[in-house]
Amino acid sequence: MALIPITTEKAVKLIEIENTLIFQTDRKARKEEIKKEVEEMFNVKVDKVRVLIRGNHKNAYVRLNKKNPAIDVATKIGMI
């Protein structure tokens, strides 16, 4: 499963305000799979995953635990 980070203005705002990262993923990916993938890739704890289906893709809104700032993860993967 491929997780592609989304770097729009809204995505950066969510990183700062809600500690949330947005990824574009395969439409067939389930929330549990997305959560597990993010936790393993970035060594963080995920609190909640919400999804939005747009066309053939699914956007996953991944809220991280307060102990893991999303700004650190975003910096590590080059979003900011």
Nearest to 51 by CA among 62, 36, 41, 65: 62
Q: What percent of the chain has pLDDT over 90?
A: 88
Q: In what order do the strands lie in the sheet with 46-54?
A: 4-5, 20-26, 57-64, 46-54
Give 34 or 54, the one with higher predicted confidence. Answer: 34
Mean pLDDT for all residues in the chain: 94
Q: Which domains, ranges and CATH numbers included, belong to the chain?
A: 4-76 (3.30.70.330)
The answer to whether the beta carbons of residues 64 and 19 sit under 8 Å apart is yes
Distance from C-alpha of 70 to C-alpha of 51, rounded to nearest angstrom: 18
Distance from C-alpha of 33 to C-alpha of 76, rounded to nearest angstrom: 22
Q: What is the pTM of this model?
A: 0.93
Query: 2-12: per-residue pLDDT in tens?
Result: 899 999 999 99
